[in-house]
Amino acid sequence: MNRFYYGILVVLATSLMGSSFTIGKMGLTYISPFLLVGLRFTIAGSIMILWVKKNKLPTTMKNWGKIFTIGLFQTAGVMGCIFLSLRTITAGESSILTFINPLLVVILGTIFLNLKYRLYQWIGVMIGCIGVIVTLGFHLQLKSGTIFGLGAGLSWAIATILVKKWGSHFNIWALTAYQMLFGGLLLLLLSITIENPIFIINIESILIVLYLAIMGSIVQFATWYYLLSLGDPGKTSAFLFLAPFFGVLSGWMILEEIVQWYVYLGGLFIFIGIFLVNWNPNVNPQK
């Protein structure tokens, strides 16, 4: 793919990921956490299913099980862990832990996909992780929510590896639709079992749910899975370091949150990390 269009898709996907934290924070004013994310992904999955129903669908229970497993980790696991972590740590701390998953992808890719990365790529991943921490202000404490935050990052990394391993077996749109639906239904189940569901219905709350379902889910996941299908998941996942950076910027633009000097410093580290991981992109990882 042309690098210019690849770059546009990367910015689109990561900016939607980052801004979803801001829009989601607005939504929590009206809707309880698990109900919000459950509705988000159930609606998104249902809409996409209407769109992809003519595409080739899995014909065996084994393949349906693979899609369910991806939804378990990518949607239910990531979002469930994020909101459980928010009970005891801040959104910034949760973001830091969630978006270390590119480092975990490199580790898991090395172990399970036999991918080998050069030293400078490992250094790039570490610098990117440092950039995320710096961007969010070093506010990281060891609490019970830290485990759930790490669980979100690990769950996302596992889903990335599974998509890379199994994704070619499915139509990318069908995979996106059904994994979101399965994950959304699991999150709705969590909503009625571990929280007191609340939904204050008004124009703003409905628009927030629709934005998260369409732009923050359908467009985001489809774009991200497409990018993952193009090449090495470790290199592609390095761009996830941009997501918390966009999250901070969207908070500044939409919620008028103050952007501190360390955000710009962290952004510099993030771009250096991405450059190192993607250096010499015409050479594929050694297998």
Residue 91 reports pLDDT greater than 70: no
pLDDT digits over 24-46, tens only? Answer: 888 888 999 899 999 999 999 99
Report the C-alpha gap between 6 and 138 in whole angstroms. 31
255 vs 69, which has greater pLDDT? 69
Phi-psi region of 103 (alpha: psi -120 to 50; beta: other; left: phi over 0): alpha
What's this model's pTM, rounded to 2 decimal places? 0.77
Instruction: Provide the β-strand partners of residue 31.
Output: 199
Provide the terminal-to-terminal Cα distance of the chain, rounded to the nearest Å: 22
Nearest to residue 177, comparing CAs of 88, 273, 58, 96? 58
Binning pLDDT at 50, 70 and 90, where does residue 286 land? very low
Q: What's residue 227's pLDDT? A: 85
Report the C-alpha gap between 63 and 43 in whole angstroms. 23
- The whole-chain average pLDDT of the chain stands at 82
Binning pLDDT at 50, 70 and 90, where does residue 105 land? confident
DSSP 87: T
Report the C-alpha gap between 228 and 162 in whole angstroms. 11
Report the C-alpha gap between 225 and 16 in whole angstroms. 14
Binning pLDDT at 50, 70 and 90, where does residue 287 land? very low
pLDDT digits over 157-209, tens only? Answer: 899 889 888 877 888 788 888 999 999 999 999 999 988 999 999 999 999 99
Among positive and negative, which fits the CA dihedral 160, 269, 97, 120? positive
Binning pLDDT at 50, 70 and 90, where does residue 6 land? confident
pLDDT digits over 237-270, tens only? Answer: 778 778 877 877 887 788 776 667 777 787 788 7
